[in-house]
Structures are given as C-alpha cells and as structure tokens.
Amino acid sequence: MNDRAVRTEQPRLEKSLGTWSVFVAGVGLVVAASTLVSDFVGYFTIGLAFLIALLIAFLINLFLGLSCAELSTTYPRAGALYEYGAQAIPWRAASVITGMFLAFAFYGMFGLVGALEISAGSFGLQALFNATGSLTPWIVAMTVLAILPNLAHVRTMAIIEAIVLVGMLAIRWFFGAAGWTGFSNTGSWSASNWAGEIGVFEWSAILGALALAYWSFVGIEFVAPLAEETRNPRRNLPIGIVLGLLAILATSAFMGTGVGGTQPLGQWAESALGPAGCDGSCPQLVVGAAMFGDWGRGLMALGTAAATYTSMVIVLAAMPRILYGVARDGHFFGPLSRAFAYLHPRFRTPWVAIFATAALYCIVAIFFHDVVALIFAGSYAWVIIYIFWHLLVIISRFTNPHVDRPFRLPLVVPIIGAGGTGFALYYAFQGAHATYGIMSLYIFAGSLLAALISYALARKAPRPAPVDEGGRSG
C-alpha cells in the first residue's frame, strides 16, 4: 500500500490567486516589523557597508526564490516542504518521514520567528496608543486581528493584505523620501553623516552583518504553500517572487540610506540602540520621533504594527496549509489528521490548523520579547532550511527525472544557491555557531522525533480508499 495515500476531504482549496497576490504574499511576509529593526540596527552599526551586505543577501535569496519557484510549480500542493521532501525521496516510509521532518522543522523554526515578529509589532501597537505595562494584551490583539482575514476566502485575505501592505510600504518610503529631501527635524541629507570607522567595503563588517541583512529578505518562500490556490503557477509564482525580492531591496535601501544620512552615524546609534529604542528592539520608534516628533513616532508605530499585521496574516495563511497538507495525507499524528485536514465548507480554509498555529505562536511570543536575539536564533535555523530547498531541487532532478517541470532552472542555480547559503551561514555566525547551532539542533531533533511519532501513529490508523487530486492517486 502506498504510504502517501490521500484521504478524502471535501471541499478542496480554492484556486484564485494571481501574480499580484503572490507578490503581496511574499512582500507582506518579508517586509515585516522585525525588518525595520534589523535594517536600522544594521545601518546604524556598520554604516553603508550594510548596503553591500543587503546586496549579497538579495542575491542569495534570489537563488532561493528561483529554487522555490521550481519546486512549487512542479509540486503545486499546500504541503510545500512536506510535499517536496516526500516526492524527492523515492523510498516509501523514508519519503513520508523526510517530508514531515522538513515540514515540522520549518513550522517549529517559525515558532521563534513568529514570536519575534508578534513582539516587534506589539511594541509598535503599544506605542501607537501611548500605552505602558505588559505587552501580552497587545500580542493577543495582534494575533486575533491576523486570524480574521484567514478565516474567509483566500482571495479575501489577499485583498485585505494588499490594502494594508500598500499603506505600510508608503510609510517606509515616506521616511526615506523625507530623509533624502531634508524634509524632517533631523536636517538635510549629507554623505558626511555616514562617515565612521567602518568603510563601505570592509568585508569583516559586511560578513558579520549578513545575518541581519539576510533577515531583510527571508520569507519569500512563504508563497509556496499557496501554490495549490494559485492560478497558472508556472507564470505567477516565479514573476511574483522576483518582483517581491526587488521591491524589498528597493524599500530597504531607499529608506535606510535616506534616514541614516540626516544625522551623524554615531548619534543615530546612541539614540536608536539605547533605552529609547528598547535596547535595539524598536529603533524605528526613535527614528520616527527624531524626524517628526510625536506624530512621527506615531506614524512609525503605525507602520510597525501594519508590518507585523501583513506578515502574520501571511504566516497564518501559509503555515496552517503545511499542516493541512500533512493531515490531508493522513500523516499528522494519527487521529489528529481528521481535524487538521478540515476545511470550512463555505470559505475552503483550514480553520483548525489556523487556530492551532495562532495559539502556539502567540504563547511563545508572550514569553519571549527580545527581538534582536530571536532574529539571530531564527535566522540560523532558517538558513539551514534554505539549504534544504536547494538540495531538494537537485535531488528531485535525479529521483524524478521525468516529472513535468513547468518552471525549470539550470541545475547550476540550486548548486550555487546551496553553496552561497552555506557561505552566508558560516560567515554570518562566526563565533556564535555554538550558541545558535545548538538552538537549531533542538528544533531539528524535535522535528525528527515528531515526524517519527506522527508516522508511527498514522500507520496504526485505518486507511480509507485514496482519492485522486489533480491527477494524483494513492
């Protein structure tokens, strides 16, 4: 019997997303509140050398985006990494366990990342209302608001996401334009303000800042779990991914260089990375106050909250669909598969998986607020998972040579991508591999254990007859 027998579930996911929906999904997740933190920390600590780090990170993530496009168009199903791992490995039980391991590792890694993102946005939401005290109510409020559009049709989610995304990007570009034109309290833009001890091409500083620069782009692969709901994925996924990465690079470069050039670098670092900037966890609020006073701080707080909202809306769209993909095949901890494979009969969205994911990430966020530390911890595991994306493209070429690949890369692309990502991992975390590597090891070990337990429970569960979905049968 095939270990990947598909369980009958009706209704099915709705195919309604186009190129711009893919663009919105990718940019909405990547241009998160935590990227405001990583960008400003990067620019204010190493100056314009951070721009070079951003360009390197962009190229590495462009290769990742292309590998993501090949995998998601070749296997356009909601399970994403679960599906790719299971398809690439041809040996029955090993294929399922590999797929579940990758899915659980990605999902578990985002337990840290989701916590930092909700925390970063909650700082902004709290500041927006000039509130003090515990961050917990704001974390809960942000999570609830992100759940709501995901309970409706996926196209409704995309529309709401697009509206908030446009407003959030407009705020970032406004601050960049204000800096470049001198239209702010911090004065005219001057190249002399960027002068510091670190040169633009000082490679030790650039490599040391790669983790922060990398963070400005990670998440573009979140479009993959939406492939099953994308019209013409062969065209819409690659175009949406590339346009998204270009928009992210332009936004980060324009805003960061514009703002940073209005005051001496040391002055920005002292104020934005000190107590007023939450010791580096909310430097953007200091930037807003310095440039436009109270209303500037409020506008930056609004942009921060909007950025978290757009990212968490996509998180609560993509991550539950990974669980849904595993559960639909009957492999999510035996009897739990039926619940997590549930789709709302009207909206065709995985409600149980959405609520479970939101609750888990919210709980982690309540107990962990150190945004910068979580950025580094999450980045380490995330970069390792990116290497797996490239390896899956390479392995799949040999194990499934005859499968239709609507978007096919030259094989050198994932090879260079894997090597470049490994290079970034090594140099970005020099001196800290033990600290963050151990945290990542916990995530991967726990994910493997969960995959083995889930597979064992699934084997004991009764198996109904498989149903064909999109040309596949059990």
pLDDT, tens only, 395-411 = 999 999 999 999 999 99
pLDDT at residue 130 in the model: 81
Q: Is residue 3 part of a domain?
A: no
pLDDT at residue 375 in the model: 63
Q: Is residue 443 part of a domain?
A: yes
Average pLDDT over residues 420-439: 83
pLDDT band for position 250 (cuts 50, 70, 90): very high
252, pLDDT greater than 70: yes
Q: Range with the lowest mean pLDDT among 181-190, 197-206, 245-254, 385-394?
A: 197-206
Give me the percent of the chain exceeding a pLDDT of 70. Answer: 89
In the numeric block, the tokens 């995530």 are attached to 443
Average pLDDT over residues 222-250: 85
445, pLDDT greater than 60: yes
Q: Which residue has the higher pLDDT, 133 or 376?
A: 133
Average pLDDT over residues 179-192: 92
1, pLDDT greater than 60: no
Instruction: Give 176: exposed, middle or buried? Use CB within 10 Å, 0-12, 13-18, 19+.
Output: buried
Q: Is residue 471 part of a domain?
A: no
- Tell me the residue range of the domain where 297 lies: 19-458
Q: Is residue 466 part of a domain?
A: no
pLDDT, tens only, 328-379 = 988 999 889 999 999 988 888 999 999 999 998 888 888 765 655 666 667 7
Q: Is residue 447 part of a domain?
A: yes
469, pLDDT greater than 60: no
d(CA 261, CA 258): 6
Mean pLDDT of the chain: 84
Supply the CATH number for residue 357's domain. Answer: 1.20.1740.10
pLDDT, tens only, 148-164 = 988 988 778 778 878 88
pLDDT at residue 29 in the model: 62
| Tally of structural domains, the chain | 1
30, pLDDT greater than 60: yes
pTM over 0.95: no
Q: Is residue 386 part of a domain?
A: yes
pLDDT at residue 374 in the model: 63
pLDDT band for position 198 (cuts 50, 70, 90): confident
Q: Is residue 5 part of a domain?
A: no
pLDDT, tens only, 304-322 = 888 888 888 888 888 899 9
pLDDT at residue 473 in the model: 35
453, pLDDT greater than 60: yes
275, pLDDT greater than 90: no
Q: Which residue has the higher pLDDT, 113 or 258?
A: 258
Q: Is residue 142 part of a domain?
A: yes
Cis peptide leading into 11, omega within 30 of 0? yes
